[in-house]
Amino acid sequence: MATPISRRSVLAAGAGAAAGLTLPGAAARAGGSAATRVRFTLNAETLDGGEQVTSITLATGRLGRIDRDSLTTGTFSVHATATSPIPIVPGDQIFSEYDLDRAVTAVRLDRHGDIVLDLAHGEGRLGGGTLGYIVSRSRNVRLDLTYTITQNTPLEVWGRRPVVITDFVQGRLANPEVDAFGYRISRSGMKYRLYQPSRRGAGRDRRPLVVWLHGGGEGASLPDGYYDNETTLRANRGALGFATPEAQRVFSGAYVVAPQSTSYWLEDGDRFAPLIREIVGDLAQRYPIDRERIYLAGASNGGYMTLKMTTVYPDLFAASVPVCAVVQALEPGGPTMITDAELRSIRTPTWLVTSRDDDTVPPEPNTVHAHDLIPGALLSLYDRVVWDGYQFPGHWSWIYLARNDPSIAGTRIWQWMARQRT
């Protein structure tokens, strides 16, 4: 590889603009213009195992018509660091921090003439994730990302001298699926994200509402002042699945809301239930939502809260999908979270999902037990969690719901939900 001719270290995404750094001497030697500043965007996708930065877009369109044939995977190098936004105390652990080079797998020009660097990524790959898990707090947090780009060879531009970029400035983290959910706060102070369906051709028709309740790792950590209203969408595809074109066709255009707990739902379900109900009520008043088609789903901690909501508000939801739900105490001697009497009282149509190899929330005393007691409940019990050939931890059975995989007697779970009415 050629000796790097321009290198730029930048601040974490969302942390603000970085101070300028130029190398006019190097630029002149390479035949380029001094102080050629280019901003770049980190492009992310939420995979089933969590969000990863999958490519970088360099805003090079203004530089002129770049010769695409001169671009190679060696034209630029990328280094990435990811650190916790919350101080980590001695002896604590955080998973997924990193400081490493990101492999550039392809280089291309988009329709704006901007250079796009595709980065190696995939399920289980270290070094591309945007979230870290702090063990002592049992929380996912959005990592502070710092990307450093090195230009190794000048850019060939039609009609002008070769260009050396002397100043790379990091911009926003862009994830179209996440960005489609608006940032909201309820009257009681609970944060949530809201997806609004297209109203094209809808006329006066009212739309369904899907409520997604996240797992324990996606709540806030208020003692640290951390309440991001983002990890619910970046940690997995639970809420995002219902906003995909496929799901929107099944539900004929649905609103999707993802409240974020101020801690974790299991802490106090009775306190959180009316706060979630308030959000649902406010949305039903402000938007053309069909009150007969309000659907509820959640995973793990959120699976517990899904069951809890149907015991507290038996007539509110048209259908309920608790995934790997906590019913019994997870610690020896702890209280039962949903009693047998409460389970027997549920009259909301319920479809439960879990995997036999779930060693976080064992299926027999939780999901299977709930299925046996809830009148008319359906159950999808998988042997393990595998998608696109990759095996995930057994607790992650929400992946199947996000992909509309559960099926009984030829009916898939989204279609079943969409047919239900209160």
301 by Cβ neighbours in 10 Å (0-12 / 13-18 / 19+) ranks as buried
List, for residues 333-389, the tens digit of each pLDDT value: 788 999 999 999 999 999 999 999 999 999 999 999 999 999 999 999 999 999 999
Residue 1 lies in a domain: no
Q: Where is the domain boundary, 174, 203, 238? A: 174
Residues 209 and 255 in one domain: yes
Domain co-membership, 123 together with 111: yes
Segment 148-185, tens digit of pLDDT: 999 999 999 998 899 999 999 999 999 999 999 999 99
Rg (CA), the chain: 24
Q: Are 105 and 37 contained in the same domain?
A: yes
The residue range of the domain holding 67 is 6-174
Domain boundary among 130, 158, 174: 174
Number of neighbours of residue 209 by Cβ within 10 angstroms? 24
Q: For 1-60, write each residue's pLDDT tens digit.
A: 444 444 444 433 333 333 233 333 333 334 444 469 999 999 999 999 999 999 999 999
Q: Is residue 232 assigned to a domain?
A: yes
* CATH number for the domain harbouring residue 14: 2.60.40.2180
Pairing of strands 37-47, 50-58: antiparallel
pLDDT of residue 31: 43
d(CA 74, CA 67) in angstroms, rounded, equals 15
406 and 326: one domain?
yes
pLDDT of residue 35: 62
Indicate if 111 and 33 belong to the same structural domain: yes
Same domain flag for 62 and 12: yes
Last residue of a domain, one of 155, 174, 193: 174
